Structure formats: structure tokens, C-alpha cells
């Protein structure tokens, strides 16, 4: 949306007070995200001047457009996530004439994917870029509202992705983070076999100067030998896998309508660890899913002890109307969810700390993202931006460069170190 507006002559400004158009890209995934979206809209609406437009876009408005407008008086336009490319048209329409009621723009197109009007679908932060490879999801997870919001999966054509990756490479991007609701499903709708592996082959062959390629959101059951081989043999593909498992007890997984073959998980992770040197594995779990017994939760705790993931994220179950778990209700009390969440995170923190301590004395390549007060901040291959840890490096290292760092200290999430090749000067 920002790119389309800039092509139409708009500029990005720093503060809401400087803007003529205020756009909130809402999230409708779980309760806390919905709340944050509404609160942000309310705050902007309360301080809005008469010459400013306020547009609510994104997933929450796609699903609950009228409800959002009811809760936040003062919204001028409602644009869903499936037609973000219509933003310029919506702004023009709103500017044309006064509109006592919000303008709704929620066409029921199946999903986005092909009609993208030439914008680069990457969000760039420093020298890292999130590159979208597909949008929407066709999996049946019972707790998840995303298929209701986004529709089924639409993969972006390989050539479009390569073109964007090339552009990003030319702009100096060092790290590409491939995202989709389920990256392992990439290309299925295009009739591709092993689409993600095929895409990775093309990316590493045809965009050779990207240093790091990171794969997020791999659905269990679809990490196959071809993907493992590509990850093991192509240097640019980081030995990092984010595989959201959601639970470890087969009955809980069955109620979630997720793959419940835990043996597959054990075998696949063992195979990956044997083939991919220094593999870092990240996962996420839901605690307090309807019907989760203490025994099921204990199975999950034993599982994290056994697998020893590098990184674990956890969510407390959020009841989402309209999903197929609606009929199960939300019977696990909030305090039980909270207590299980804490227990799980504490256990994982101890595991993460032990794993991190194993890096002390070793060298890691670190992508530097900033510095101040004589300390530089960066990430190693083990750290996806925002969700994983950081490496704090002594001295002012060059931003955007990947530098070797000798690790000298470990915390539960972060590492500390010194430049391995002294001295780095600016």
C-alpha cells in the first residue's frame, strides 16, 4: 500500500499529526492482536483533524469491517486484506466528496497473489527483507481464523519472486526471509511438485549474492527429503527452520485438526539434525487448547525436554468464533492457561540458556543491525528478526555487514561477543 501511494505522489511521514492519510493495517488473528488494532484506531480517531482521512485496512476489517466501524467512530474507509492493491482508488474516492458513513471496500475476491500491480511484496528492515511467496492457507487447523480471513492459498509465480529477490539484492539486501502462512505448501496451487525446494534451487542459482535465506512457517508433515537436501547443500540457505508444532500430545493435535503423528516429528527432526550441520530449530505451541488436560500438557513439557528446541514461542489459546474449534468452547480457565504458559516458558528458558552456553568460545557470523554506546547489536543465523535473540558485540561494527564474532557470554535468549577479527573500524 505504501508503494502504491508513493507512486501516486504521497510521501511517508514520521508522525500521525503530519499525515493527510492515516492507515492502520489491522491484525485479526487472535484476541490480543484484535484489541491492539482497535486501540490504535481509537487513538488515531480521537486525535484526527477534519482534513485527515483514517482508513482501517488488513485482516480484522476483512472479517469484521462493520463491527470495527461501529467500535471506532470516525473511520473514513474500510479496506480488507484481500484487496490492499485498491488503496489509491479508496483514497481518491474518499477525497472526492464528503462521506458521512465509512466507505466499505471489501470485494469478495478469492485472495491476492497474482494481481499485484507491480509492487515489490517485501517489507525491508535494514538489510533484511521479508519476501512473501504465497498468501492464504488451505490447512484445516481448528483454532485458526486465517483461512476465513485470507481465503485459500495462492502462490506467487516463481518468476515474480525471482524478480523481486533480484531487485532486493541490487538494493543491498543481505538476508531474505521467506514467508507465507505455510511455506511448505508453496507452488501446490501452481501444479508444482516440491515447490519450496524448487523455488530455493532457483533462488540460490539466480540470485547468488543474497548471503542468507531463512525459511519461516514450515507445516509439519511437509518437510521432505528434497527440502532437507537443499537446505543441507546450499550455503545461502540458513540452517534454521521454523516449524510451528502447536502441541505434542496426539489427542490434543487431533482436536486441533493438525498432523498428530508425533513419530514423524521425531524422525524428521532427527534426520534434519543429522544432515544439516548446526541446525537451529524454532517452534511455537498453544497452551490451554480446549480439552487440554494436565497429562496432555505434561507430554508437551516432556517433549520440549527431549527435543531441546533452540527457540520456542507459546500462545495462550484464543477463542475465535467461526473456526471449527468453536464448538469446543474455551473451557480451560484463564489462570490455568497463564500458569501453563509460564511453566512452559520457564522450562524452555533453562533449555535455551544451556544451548546458548554451548556457543561460548565459538565463532558466529553476525549481521549487524545497529550500534550505540560502544555496543553493536546483530543477529546470527539462529535468530530471526523480532522473535528470536540477539548478539551484542563489543565496539561499533559496520551496520548491514556480516561479521565474525567470538561468543563470550550467554543469556537465555541473547549472546554477547567480541569481534573475531579485530579491530573493526568505521
Burial of 349 (0-12, 13-18, 19+ CB in 10 A): middle
| Residue 195 Cβ vs ligand SF4, minimum distance, rounded to whole Å | 15
Residue 223 Cα distances to 25, 147, 215, angstroms: 32, 21, 11
Residue 282 contacts residue 312 (beta carbons within 8 Å): yes
Q: Is 57 a residue that touches ligand SF4 (CB under 6 A)?
A: no
Q: Binders of ligand SF4 among 119-138, rule CB under 6 A?
A: 137
| Residue 139 Cβ vs ligand SF4, minimum distance, rounded to whole Å | 4
Nearer residue to ligand SF4 within complex by CB, 102 or 151: 151
Q: Binders of ligand SF4 among 298-327, rule CB under 6 A?
A: none
d(CA 419, CA 23): 42
| Residue 247 Cβ vs ligand SF4, minimum distance, rounded to whole Å | 12
Q: Which stretch binds ligand SF4 (CB under 6 A): 44-52, 76-84, 139-147, 191-199?
A: 139-147
Nearer residue to ligand SF4 within complex by CB, 169 or 283: 283
d(CA 395, CA 82): 45
H or E element in which residue 378 lies: strand 375-379
Q: Is 139 a residue that touches ligand SF4 (CB under 6 A)?
A: yes
Residue 374 contacts residue 419 (beta carbons within 8 Å): no
Residue 132 contacts residue 47 (beta carbons within 8 Å): no
Nearer residue to ligand SF4 within complex by CB, 182 or 292: 182
Number of residues that bind ligand SF4 (CB under 6 A): 9
Cell representation of residue 140: 484445516
Q: Is 194 a residue that touches ligand SF4 (CB under 6 A)?
A: no
Residue 284 Cα distances to 2, 92, 209, 299, angstroms: 31, 42, 31, 15
| Residue 147 Cβ vs ligand SF4, minimum distance, rounded to whole Å | 5
Nearer residue to ligand SF4 within complex by CB, 315 or 359: 315
When binding is defined by CB under 6 A, the residue of 84, 186, 212, 219 that contacts ligand SF4 is 219
When binding is defined by CB under 6 A, the residue of 76, 135, 175, 182 that contacts ligand SF4 is 182
d(CA 95, CA 226): 52
Task: Please tell me the number of Cα atoms within 13 Å of 143 on its side-chain side.
Answer: 24
Q: Which stretch binds ligand SF4 (CB under 6 A): 141-149, 291-299, 365-373, 412-420?
A: 141-149
State the residues that interact with ligand SF4 by CB under 6 A: 137, 139, 141, 144, 146-147, 181-182, 219
Amino acid at each position: 500500500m505504501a508503494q502504491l501511494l508513493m507512486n501516486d505522489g504521497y510521501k511517508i511521514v514520521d508522525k500521525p499529526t503530519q499525515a493527510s492519510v492515516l492507515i492502520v493495517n489491522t491484525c485479526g488473528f487472535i484476541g490480543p492482536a484484535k484489541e491492539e488494532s482497535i486501540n490504535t484506531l481509537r487513538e488515531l480517531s480521537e486525535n484526527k483533524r477534519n482534513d485527515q482521512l483514517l482508513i482501517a485496512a488488513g485482516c480484522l476489517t476483512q472479517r469484521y469491517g462493520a463491527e470495527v466501524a461501529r467500535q471506532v467512530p470516525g473511520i473514513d474507509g474500510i479496506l480488507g486484506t484481500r484487496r490492499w492493491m485498491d488503496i489509491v482508488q479508496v483514497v481518491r474516492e474518499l477525497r472526492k466528496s464528503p462521506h458521512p458513513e465509512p466507505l466499505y471496500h471489501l470485494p469478495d475476491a478469492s485472495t491476492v497473489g497474482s494481481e499485484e500491480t507491480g509492487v515489490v511484496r517485501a517489507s525491508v528492515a535494514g538489510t533484511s527483507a521479508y519476501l512473501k511467496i504465497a498468501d492464504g492457507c488451505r490447512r484445516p487447523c481448528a483454532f485458526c481464523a486465517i483461512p476465513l480471513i485470507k481465503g485459500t492459498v495462492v502462490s506467487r509465480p516463481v518468476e515474480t519472486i525471482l524478480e523481486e529477490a533480484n531487485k532486493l539484492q541490487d538494493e543491498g539486501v543481505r538476508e531474505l526471509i521467506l514467508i507465507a502462512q505455510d511455506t511448505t505448501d508453496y507452488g501446490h496451487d501452481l501444479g508444482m511438485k516440491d515447490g519450496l525446494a524448487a523455488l530455493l534451487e532457483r533462488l540460490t542459482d539466480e540470485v547468488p549474492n543474497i548471503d542468507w535465506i531463512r525459511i519461516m512457517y514450515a507445516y509439519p508433515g511437509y518437510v521432505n527429503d528434497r527440502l532437507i537436501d537443499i537446505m543441507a547443500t546450499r550455503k545461502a540457505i540458513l540452517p534454521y527452520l521454523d516449524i510451528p508444532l502447536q502441541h505434542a500430545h496426539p489427542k490434543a493435535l487431533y482436536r486441533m485438526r493438525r498432523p498428530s503423528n508425533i513419530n514423524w516429528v521425531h524422525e524428521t527432526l532427527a534426520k534434519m539434525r543429522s544432515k544439516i550441520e548446526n541446525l537451529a530449530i524454532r517452534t511455537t505451541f498453544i497452551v490451554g487448547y480446549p480439552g487440554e488436560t494436565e497429562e496432555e500438557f505434561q507430554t508437551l513439557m516432556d517433549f520440549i525436554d527431549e527435543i531441546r528446541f533452540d527457540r520456542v514461542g507459546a500462545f495462550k489459546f484464543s477463542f475465535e468464533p467461526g473456526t471449527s474449534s468453536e464448538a469446543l468452547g474455551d473451557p480451560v480457565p484463564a489462570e490455568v492457561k497463564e500458569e501453563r504458559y509460564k511453566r512452559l516458558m520457564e522450562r524452555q528458558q533453562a533449555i535455551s540458556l544451556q544451548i546458548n552456553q554451548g556457543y561460548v568460545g565459538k565463532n558466529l557470523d553476525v549481521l549487524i543491525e545497529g550500534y550505540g554506546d560502544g555496543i553493536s547489536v546483530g543477529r546470527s543465523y539462529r535468530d530471526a528478526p523480532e522473535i528470536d535473540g540477539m548478539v551484542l558485540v563489543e565496539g561499533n561494527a559496520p551496520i548491514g555487514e556480516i561479521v565474525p564474532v567470538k561468543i563470550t557470554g550467554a543469556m537465555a535468549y541473547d549472546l554477547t561477543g567480541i569481534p573475531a577479527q579485530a579491530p573493526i573500524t568505521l
